[in-house]
Amino acid sequence: MTTYDADGITLEKVREYVWEIPQEGDMRTPARVLASEALLDEISDDKTLQQIKNATHLPGITNHAICMPDGHQGYGFPVGGVGALDAKNGCISPGAVGYDINCGVRMMTTNLTYDDVRGNEEELVDALFANVPSGLGGGGIVKGDADAIEGILARGVEWAVEEGYGVEDDLRACEDEGRRPDADPSAVSQKAKDRGRNQIGSLGSGNHFLEIQRVTDVFREDVGDAFDLREDQIVVLIHCGSRGLGHQVCNDYLRKIEKQHADLLDRLPDKELAAAPAGSELAEEYYGAMCAAINFAWVNRQLIMHRTRRVFERVFDRTWEQMEMQLLYDVAHNIAKKESHDVDGESRELYVHRKGATRAFPAGHPEVPAAYRDVGQPIIIPGSMGAGSYVLRGGDKSMTETFGSTAHGAGRLMSRTAAKDTYWGGDVQDELEQDGVYVKAQSGATVAEEAPGVYKDVDEVVRVSDALGIGDKVARTFPVCNIKG
DNA sequence: ATGTCC
C-alpha cells in the first residue's frame, strides 16, 4: 500500500488523488484528503490534517470528513473541509461553517471583449473604487434601517430586487434563488444587526475583491455555451461575505454553544469544534441565524453587482442591458445546509458543512437552476490576483464522493503575518501592473497579505478536482483590473 | 474573515 507520512499522521492511498486517515481511537469514521502529492506537501507540516482528523469525532459524521485539494488550516475545522453531519442524530458546528458566513463568489458575464476595456482600465477601476465601498469598517451602498435589515435577513435577494437593486432574472441564477427559506431574523442578535446595518453592499477586506477579468480559455464548448462564456469575453467577479454581521452571528453562537453544550465539547478533541446537538434549541437557533446571514451575504453581492452595472453604464455610455451584464451564478463558500443525500442506499437528511468548499451539483440534479440543469451547476473558483480564476461545472462523481462539493479557491500557503514580512504592497502592485493587471486597494498591507505568492497553484487545485470528476473545468479567466479592501 | 483583544 502507498502511504504518505506527514507530521505525525500517516495517510493511505485509496486511489489517485484520494488519501485516507484510517479510523482509530474515538474517530467515528475515517478522514479523506483529496489531493496530489504536491498539494499534500503544502499541508504536511501545519494543522490541516489534524483538523480534518478531529472533525471525524463530531457526532453524526457520515462516511468521512473530507478535505478538498485547496484545504488549509482554519478555526477548528480546515478551510476546504466538508463534513456531512446527521440532521437528526448528529450536530451542527459553527466552526465547521466559518466566521464569514456565506463568504462566496458571483460571476457576471458581459458581451464586451478585452479590446473594449483595454485602455480604459484606470478609468474603470477608479470609478469602481469610488462607487463600491471597500475596506474594514462601515459604509455600504444602502444605509439600512431596522425594517431593511429584517427584510434582508428574511428574504435575501428578493428584498434587493423589490428595492430596485436588480431584476427577476438575477434570482434565477442564484442558489436557492437568493433566499434561504430557513432564515430566522429573530435569532440574529441586535449587536449583529447593528454591525450589519451600515455594511449593506460593501466588499470588506482580506481576500475580498471585485475583479474585471477576461476569459482566456474555454475547455468544454457545450458547457461554455450554456454558461454564455467565450474566449476574450469580459466578465466580472465579486468575492465577499457577510461582513461584521456574519462574524457576530458565528461568535455569538460559538460562545452560547460552548457553555450550553459543554458535555459534548468535553468529548471533542478541539474546543474550536464546539457543536450543538441536532434538535437542540441552540442548533435550531444557530441554523436560523446562519441562514439569515447567508441571505445578508447574497444581498451584499447583489448590491455590489448592481452598482457595478451602473458604473459600466457611465464608463461605456451604454445601458447594462445593452452590455448583457447577466449574473452567471453565485456560489456560497462557507455554509451548512440541510440536504438529502443517498447514504448506503438510504436517503438521509444531513447538515452538509462546507467551509471553504463549494456546492458542485451535477447535471440532472433538481436543485440546479433550469438554465444549467442539462450541464451541471456552475462553480466559480477564484485564484489569486495574479493567477486568474476558473469556472467549473458540478461533476458526475460529486454526489457519491463529496456530498456534492468541490474546492473553493487556491488556498493560502502563508499566514497573513508571514505575508506582510515577505512582501510590500506597492511592489506587488508594480509587478502585477507589468503583467497587465491594474490593482487599486484601500490598504497596501492588504495587497501584501494577498500577494499571488501566498497562494497555492490554482491550476493544480482545479486539475485534481477535474480528475476526480467532482468539478469539471469549463473556462479559465485572467485578471484585467481589481479593487480590494 | 473580523470595529485583526471583551
CA of A136 to C1' of B4 (A): 10
Give dist(CA A411, CA A70) in Å, integer: 5
- A355 sits within 7 Å of strand B by its CB: no
The bridge status of strand A31-34 relative to strand A65-72 is: parallel
CA A374 and chain centroid, separation: 24
d(CA A277, CA A271): 15
Distance A364 CA to B2 C1' (A): 39
Covered bases, chain B (protein CB within 7 Å): 1-4
Nucleotide at minimal C1' distance from the A416 CA? B4
Q: Which nucleotide is nearest to A207 (CA to C1')?
A: B1
Give the nucleotide with minimal C1' distance to the Cα of A195: B3
Distance separating alpha carbons of residues A128 and A130, to the nearest angstrom: 5
User: Which of helix, strand or coil describes residue A284?
Assistant: helix
The CATH topology of domain A3-413+455-484 is tRNA-splicing ligase RtcB (3.90.1860)
> What pLDDT is attached to residue A137?
86
Residue A199: nearest nucleotide (C-alpha to C1'): B3
pLDDT (tens digit, 9 = 90+) per residue, A39-65? 999 999 899 999 999 999 999 999 999
**Sequence-distant (≥ 6) Cβ neighbours of residue A470 within 8 angstroms:** A34, A360, A394, A395, A397, A398, A401, A402, A405, A406
For residue A485, say whether its CB is under 7 Å from any atom of strand B. yes
Q: Work out if A416's Cβ lies within 7 angstroms of strand B.
A: yes
CA A240-A125-A332 angle, 5° bins = 15
Domain coordinates in residue numbering, chain A: 3-413+455-484
From CA A363, how far away is CA A1, in angstroms rounded?
35
Strand, helix or coil for residue A246: helix
Low-confidence ranges of chain A (pLDDT < 50): none
* A:192-221 Cβ neighbours of strand B under 7 Å: 194-195, 199, 204-208
Which nucleotide lies nearest residue A446, CA to C1'? B4
In the block, residue with C-alpha cell 455590489: A304
Residue nearest to nucleotide B3 (CA to C1'): A137
The pLDDT score that the predictor gives to residue A485 is: 83
CB A356 within 8 A of CB A241: no
Distance (Å, rounded) from C-alpha A30 to C-alpha A21? 6
CB A20 within 8 A of CB A31: yes
Assess whether A239 carries a catalytic annotation: no
Who's near A102: CB < 8 A, 6+ residues apart? A241, A242, A246, A293, A294, A296, A297, A298, A332, A333, A334, A335
Q: Is the CB of A414 under 7 A from strand B?
A: no
| Distance, Å, A210 CA → B3 C1' | 23
- Say how far A316 CA is from B5 C1', in Å: 46
A 55-114 residues, CB < 7 A, strand B: 75, 99-100, 103
A29 touches strand B (CB under 7 A): no
Q: Which of the 140-159 residues on chain A come under 7 Å of nucleic strand B at their beta carbon? A: none
pLDDT of the residue at A246: 98
Nearest to A11 by CA among A24, A358, A457: A24
Q: How distant, in Å, are the alpha carbons of A143, A193, A324, A363 from that of A150?
A: 13, 9, 32, 35
Element (H, E) at A392: strand A389-394
Strand A209-218, strand A471-484: pairing: antiparallel
Neighbour count for residue A446 (Cβ, 10 Å)? 23
The reply to whether A137 has its C-beta less than 7 Å from any atom of strand B is: yes
pTM exceeds cut of 0.95 = yes
CA A184 – C1' B6 distance (Å)? Answer: 27
Question: Of chain A residues 271-290, which have a beta carbon within 7 Å of strand B?
Answer: none
Reported as a single tens digit per residue, the pLDDT across A299-329 is 999 999 999 999 999 999 999 999 999 999 9
Q: Name the nucleotide nearest A248; use CA and C1'.
A: B2
pLDDT of residue A316: 97
How far in angstroms lies nucleotide B4's C1' from the CA of residue A485?
A: 14
Task: Determine the distance between A343 (CA) and B4 (C1') in angstroms.
Answer: 41
Q: What is the pLDDT of residue A386?
A: 78
Determine whether A352 is exposed, middle or buried from the number of CB atoms within 10 Å of its CB (0-12, 13-18, 19+): buried
Minimum-distance residue to B1 (CA–C1'): A100
